[in-house]
Amino acid sequence: MIDIEALFKVSYGLYIVSSGDNSRGNGYISNTVFQVTAAPPQFATCCSKDNYTAEIIIKTGAFAVSVLHTETPTEVFGRFGYKSGRDSDKLDGVELMYGESGVPIVTSGAIAFLECKVVETIDVGTHLLFIGELIQSKVLDEQAEPITYLHYRNVRKAVAPKNAPTYVDKSRPESKPESKSEPDPKSETQSKPEEKTSGSKKYKCPACGYIHDESEGDPDSGLEPGTRFEDVPDSWVCPICGTEKEDFIEI
């Protein structure tokens, strides 16, 4: 039996992996960037074969990694995590610099960057594992803390994009954990009044999994805690991926 919840105990960081040149580039949010050797320093990143960035990395033979932090603007995750570079220019209007290999390096919301030359590509099925030798790196912010996927799930209330190596399709039977014990009817009865008195509802974004909790609101968008979802302006969109309010599902 596979307990899917156990997989969420594995720690990951969150990064923007980018590639291309000054005429056309792209990037995506990755939670699978890690160092594989110290001498020479080599880093690996895992990228879905469906990602546009994978095609570009194969073509250019290089990639950059931007290390994101806990205060990275939500818009950055929406732009690079839930949209396709085939449909729009993800780098348009983003703070950039170009590396020694010519690849674009995203500095918006980043505390450090790494630039790597691909030395090996491993086919792991649905994804490609790019291993690159470090050719340049720099710290951009000494104070900010790097963001983890746990923080992204618990604080940002979002889930991994569909193409992420760690994406879990919870509609599949094997992703649903078995009940470890029978519920206590007495405890269940006692908890019901508390649920009713809370009065707040939750709504889920069908695109990125973001959970909007009425009791918490969305202060960054001007929604005070306690604002009923029906009173939220129709112009409001998911703070993570931009999905419209009307598409949210009550849970």
Taking the chain, what is the end-to-end CA distance rounded to the nearest angstrom?
27
What local confidence, expressed as pLDDT, does residue 166 receive?
52
| CATH architecture assigned to 12-154 | Roll (2.30)
Please give the sequence-ordered ranges of beta strands (E in DSSP) within the chain, or none if there are none.
Answer: 15-20, 25-30, 33-38, 41-48, 62-68, 96-98, 104-106, 110-123, 127-139, 202-204, 211-213, 249-250
Which CATH number is 198-251 given?
2.20.28.10
2: confidence class by pLDDT, cuts 50, 70, 90: confident
Q: Which of 224, 83, 96, 240 is nearest to 163 (CA)?
A: 83
What local confidence, expressed as pLDDT, does residue 206 receive?
79
Q: Per-residue pLDDT for 45 more than 90?
A: yes
Question: Residue 162 and residue 166: Cα distance in Å, rounded?
Answer: 9
Query: Using one digit for the tens of pLDDT, what is the confidence trace for 87-100?
Result: 889 999 999 999 99
Reading the block at residue 210, the tokens are 């973001």
Query: Using one digit for the tens of pLDDT, what is the confidence trace for 159-198?
Result: 555 555 554 554 444 444 444 444 444 444 444 434 433 5
Amino acid identity of residue 48, one-letter, is S
Topology match between the domains 12-154 and 198-251: no
Percentage of the chain exceeding pLDDT 70: 83
What local confidence, expressed as pLDDT, does residue 178 receive?
46
- Can you tell me the mean pLDDT for 77-90? 84
Report CA-CA distances (Å) from 195 to 155, 203, 214, 249.
22, 16, 14, 19
**DSSP three-state, residue 59:** helix
How do the domains of the chain map onto residue ranges? 12-154, 198-251
Q: Which of 151, 62, 162 is nearest to 113 (CA)?
A: 62
30: confidence class by pLDDT, cuts 50, 70, 90: very high
Percentage of the chain exceeding pLDDT 90: 53
CB 130 within 8 Å of CB 61: no
What local confidence, expressed as pLDDT, does residue 193 receive?
39
Reading the block at residue 156, the tokens are 């940002």
Least confident of 94-103, 107-116, 140-149, 198-207: 198-207
At residue 111, what are phi and psi to the nearest 5 degrees? -105, -10
Q: Which residue has the higher pLDDT, 82 or 12?
A: 12
